[in-house]
Homo-oligomer: A and B are copies of this chain.
Amino acid sequence: MNSQWQRFRNRLHEIVFESDTLAGRAFDVTLLFLIVLSVLAVILESIPSLTKPYGPLFDRIEWVFTILFTLEYVLRIISIRQPLRYVFSFFGLVDLLAILPSYLGLFLFGAHELAAVRILRLLRIFRILKLGEYTEAASVLAYSLRESRAKITVFFVAIFTLVITLGAMMYVVEGHANGFQSIPLSIYWAVITITTVGYGDIVPSTPMGKFIATIIMLLGYVIIAVPTGIVAVSLTNANAGRKQEISTQACPNCSRQGHDPDAVHCKYCGAKL
C-alpha cells in the first residue's frame, strides 16, 4: 500500500506542481482563473456601493475561494517530498498569505481585505506560460537588478542620509506652524520632493523653505538619473553577456575556459585549442 500511496503522491505532484501533462496544465489554468476571480471579488467587495446590497453574497464567495485555496495548499504539502522547503519558499509563503487573511478576518477587523495579496500568486503565470521569450526577459531583468544590487544599496544609503538631513533642515526652517510638524513628517516631505512625486499636501511657505526646496528639486535631477543609469548599464551588460558568446571551448591541455571566440591557442598554457 505504501507504494500505491507513493504512486498517488507522484501523480498528485505531477498535477499540482508541474504543468507538462494535460492534467497539470488544466489544474494550473483553472487555478489562475480562480485567483483572478477571487482577487476581483475582494476588490469589488471593498466598493461601498456594492458592499451594502451584496455583503453576505461576497462573504460566501470569499469562503468558497478560501476553502478551495486551503484544499490546494494541503494538496501541495501532501504531494511534495520535503513539505518544509515548499512552505518556506517564495510561492509557499504567498500561497499561505492567500488563505491566512480570511481566517484572521474571523478575529481581526480589516485583516480580511488583505486577501487581495493573493494577486501575488498570479506571478505563477510565468511558470505556466513557459514562453521562452517572457522567461528570458524576466531573467534578464532579474539578473540586471541583481547585478546592480551593490550600486543600488549604496544609492539608497546615500538617499537615506540625504532625506533625513534635508528633513531635519526643513523642520527647523519651516517649523511647526507651516505643516512641518515633526522630523518624520519633514522626511516624508523630503522623499515626496526628491522622488518628484509632489503630492502637495505639505509645501514650504517661507521664502527660505522655498529656496531650499528649489535646490532639492534641482538636485533631484541628478539623483533620479543615478538608478536609471545603473539599471540601463546592467541591462546592457546582461544583454551583452548573453550575446558576447565567449567561446565554450575548454583547453584540451589545462581545461580552462573563457577563451575569446577568435583564440587559436589557450591563453593560459599555450596549447592549441
Residues of chain A at the chain B interface (Cβ within 8 Å): 39, 42-43, 46-48, 110-111, 113-117, 119-120, 122-123, 125-126, 133-134, 136-138, 140-141, 144-145, 150-159, 161, 164-165, 167-169, 171-172, 175-176, 181-185, 187-188, 191-193, 195-201, 203, 207, 210, 213-214, 217-218, 220-222, 224-237, 239, 259-260, 262-272
Contact = CB atoms under 8 A, between A and B. Distances in A.
A127 to B, nearest CB: 13
Nearest to A167: B116
Given A43-B164, A133-B150, A191-B217, 5 more contacts: A43-B182, A47-B183, A114-B172, A137-B154, A265-B266
Contact of A171 (B46, B137, B225, B262): B46
Contact of A110 (B175, B220, B221, B225): B175
Contacts of A203: 199, 201
B231 A239 contact: no
Contacts of A222: 145, 152, 227, 231
B231 A226 contact: yes
A235 B165 CA distance: 27
18 contacts: A43-B182, A46-B184, A47-B183, A48-B182, A111-B172, A113-B171, A113-B183, A134-B153, A141-B151, A141-B155, A156-B218, A184-B207, A188-B210, A197-B197, A201-B203, A224-B227, A228-B229, A264-B269
